[in-house]
């Protein structure tokens, strides 16, 4: 059986049948960032070597970013106070419940507090902060990986952005790469081993026990 390369083989028994199920291994689909095919950008965005850099300087208004990403009005205000302008990137993905999105990112800033520039990602109407000046420190940076598990099937707008806070003068940058959509393993029927009614299975077991008892008497 091992030579066939089956993964996560499960044996499941029901009231009327026994099935052998084979779960296919997870698969990861790379969401292209090399030439931004399938993506849309707003503001100041550039792509190089499979990664995208978004800059807050030379960007568009907070309101324009929210409209672009199909976010509720003032959604960015819920992340940090006084967002002014920035840049964003988006695409559309179709997923099943249990699928996992993951990506690598880097936030760097030339700004300082109280100008709390920030970066974020959005899935549908949900927006989540990645990092800000308060987290990385004045003129600081951080690199990390983020993952998100979908709890419902559907088509979603996936977005990334970086935004100035309280001014429009000093640049902060969000760089994103290695965007992957990992599909969860799905068990599929492989072979029906037997089809026995509950009563039939009980008769077979009793017959085997009786035969064993007779042998022991002899």
Give residue limits of the domains in the chain: 27-183
Task: Give the gyration radius of the chain's Cα atoms.
Answer: 27
The whole-number pLDDT of residue 82 equals: 94
The whole-number pLDDT of residue 194 equals: 41
Which CATH fold topology does 27-183 show?
Jelly Rolls (2.60.120)
The residue ranges of the chain whose pLDDT is under 50 are 1-26, 186-199, 201, 203
SS3 216: helix
The whole-number pLDDT of residue 11 equals: 31
Other Cβ atoms less than 10 A from the Cβ of 11: the count is 9
Q: Which residues pair with 93 in a beta bridge?
A: 156
Euclidean distance between CA atoms 121 and 119, whole angstroms = 7
The whole-number pLDDT of residue 36 equals: 85
Asked whether the beta carbons of 61 and 43 are under 8 A apart, the reply is no
Diameter over CA atoms, the chain: 98
Asked whether the beta carbons of 117 and 138 are under 8 A apart, the reply is no
The whole-number pLDDT of residue 35 equals: 78
Structure tokens at 96: 């099943």
Task: Read off the DSSP letter of residue 101.
Answer: E
């Amino acid at each position: 059986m091992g030579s066939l390369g089956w993964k996560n083989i499960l044996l499941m028994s029901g009231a009327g049948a026994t099935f052998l199920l084979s779960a296919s291994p997870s698969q990861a689909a790379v969401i292209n960032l090399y030439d931004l095919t399938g993506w849309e950008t707003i503001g100041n965005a550039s792509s190089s070597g499979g990664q995208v850099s978004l800059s807050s300087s030379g960007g568009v208004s907070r309101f324009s970013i929210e409209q672009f990403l199909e976010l509720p009005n003032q959604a960015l205000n819920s992340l940090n106070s006084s967002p002014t302008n920035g840049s964003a990137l988006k695409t559309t993905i179709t997923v099943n419940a249990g699928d996992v999105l993951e990506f690598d990112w880097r936030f760097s800033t030339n700004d300082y507090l109280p100008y709390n520039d920030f970066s974020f990602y959005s899935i549908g109407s949900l927006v989540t902060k990645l990092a800000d000046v308060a987290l990385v420190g004045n003129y600081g940076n951080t690199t990390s990986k983020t993952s998100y598990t979908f709890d419902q099937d559907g088509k979603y707008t996936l977005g990334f952005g970086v935004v100035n806070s309280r001014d429009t003068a000093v640049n902060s940058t969000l760089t994103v790469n290695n965007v992957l959509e990992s599909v969860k393993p799905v068990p599929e029927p492989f072979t029906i081993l037997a089809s026995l009614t509950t009563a039939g299975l009980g008769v077979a077991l009793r017959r085997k026990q009786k035969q064993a008892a007779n042998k022991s008497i002899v």
